[in-house]
Amino acid sequence: MKFEGKRYHSLWYENEKLKIIDQKALPFDFRVVELATSKEIINAIKDMSLRGAPLIGVAAAYATFFAYRESLTKSDSHYYYETVISKLKRSRPTAVNLQWAVNQIDNAIKMGLEIDRILSFVKNIENNEISCCKMIGDNGVLLLKDIYNIKAHKQINILTHCNAGWLATVDYGTASAPVFRARDNEMDIHVWIGETRPRNQGGKLTAWEYFHENIQHTVVADNSVGLLMRKKLVDIVIVGADRIARNGDTANKIGTYLRALAAKDNNVPFYIAAPMSTIDFSIKTGDSIKIEERDENEVRYIGETPIIHELSPVINHAFDITPAELITGFITERGVYKPQDIKRLAL
């Protein structure tokens, strides 16, 4: 995707290192950072220099490869490798893409493939993630076209949450992919972006992406989305996902559930855009999804400024679960599916 006229991916492999766009520095500083070791990748996942379920998955695939490459020069290579992998798996617990990607590369390593073949395998995961997002765009834009036709080509208002754009994947994004395709088709679109407290991925990252991609957008306080829907200013909600259970229950950024409830009450279609790698067929319902709890200081402070009395307790849930019955459909690389059809995709 584009920044100041140049095409970028949100990560790439170069000279035996992983290069990433440091998402912590955006929107005010565009910084490319080099990660040379598995430990540096794990730290970047933990401190959210790179984030978003599909991107975490691809970075974790590289981290697994790096851990293996490092282990070849260690006397306790097996112990070293397994210790890093277990830290990596615990670095962010909710996004299933992380576990999925680590297991894929770990299997290739345990099959005894040559190191170059393992690296190609990692690159396949990366390229596959890019194609999936592109196809999510192709499938999702059909929904937008239907709405556009029903509205006789009047502007469509899309509501999104957090950042499920190209920064959160390797390219195109998930929830953003249909938006980019609609822009390419010269449709008149406008996107409402919730700021996404406490880390503000909507205001900081999605708005930055849309500004540079020439997409009309407006950032709103998280709490205004009910009002927007009631005023009939939202035609469709499209958000991303971190883990989807077999019954369609979906974990995504905290606040997603409230948007789904408001959408239901206002008859606004509510879609999840996600690649198949985000579906966890091993769990029946969202009740089994571990919700990450992050440092309370993310809630306590805005920047350096404390906003809560120091003796008041704080809890910082990073994700919530939207029950399947509130979800109109899933936009995947294979097509658009109703929640009850998700389990059949495993076949």
Nearer to ligand MRU, 71 or 322 (CB): 322
Phi, psi angles (nearest 5°) of residue 226: -60, -45
Q: What angle do CA 311, 317, 320 make, to 5 degrees?
A: 150
Within the chain, residue ranges assigned H as helices are 38-46, 53-71, 77-90, 96-110, 115-150, 177-184, 201, 207-212, 225-230, 256-265, 297-300
> Tokens in use for 18?
């992983």
Nearer to ligand MRU, 109 or 241 (CB): 241
Q: State the minimum distance, in angstroms, from the CB of residue 252 to ligand MRU.
A: 5
Q: Is the dihedral of CA 10, 11, 14, 17 positive or negative?
A: positive
| Cβ proximity of 255 and 226 under 8 Å | no
Nearer to ligand MRU, 53 or 108 (CB): 53
- For the chain, the residue count is 347
Nearer to ligand MRU, 119 or 237 (CB): 237
Q: Tell me how far apart the alpha carbons of residues 211 and 24 are, in angstroms, rounded to a whole number.
A: 18
Q: State the minimum distance, in angstroms, from the CB of residue 128 to ligand MRU.
A: 15
> Tokens in use for 54?
């599909």
Phi-psi bin for 256: left (phi > 0), alpha (psi -120 to 50), beta?
alpha
Q: Which of the residues are catalytic? A: 242
Q: Tell me how far apart the alpha carbons of residues 45 and 53 are, in angstroms, rounded to a whole number.
A: 10
Q: State the minimum distance, in angstroms, from the CB of residue 168 to ligand MRU.
A: 4
Which residue sits closest to ligand MRU, CB atoms considered?
240
For binding to ligand MRU (CB under 6 A), which residues are involved?
Answer: 51-54, 95, 162, 164, 168-169, 173-174, 201, 239-242, 252-253, 318
| Cβ proximity of 25 and 19 under 8 Å | no
Q: State the minimum distance, in angstroms, from the CB of residue 59 to ligand MRU.
A: 11
Residues 6+ apart with CB under 8 A from 261: 326
Nearer to ligand MRU, 54 or 194 (CB): 54
Nearer to ligand MRU, 119 or 204 (CB): 204
> Tokens in use for 336?
């658009």
Q: Tell me how far apart the alpha carbons of residues 63 and 207 are, in angstroms, rounded to a whole number.
A: 29
Q: State the minimum distance, in angstroms, from the CB of residue 275 to ligand MRU.
A: 8
* 266 three-class SS: coil
Q: State the minimum distance, in angstroms, from the CB of residue 94 to ligand MRU.
A: 8
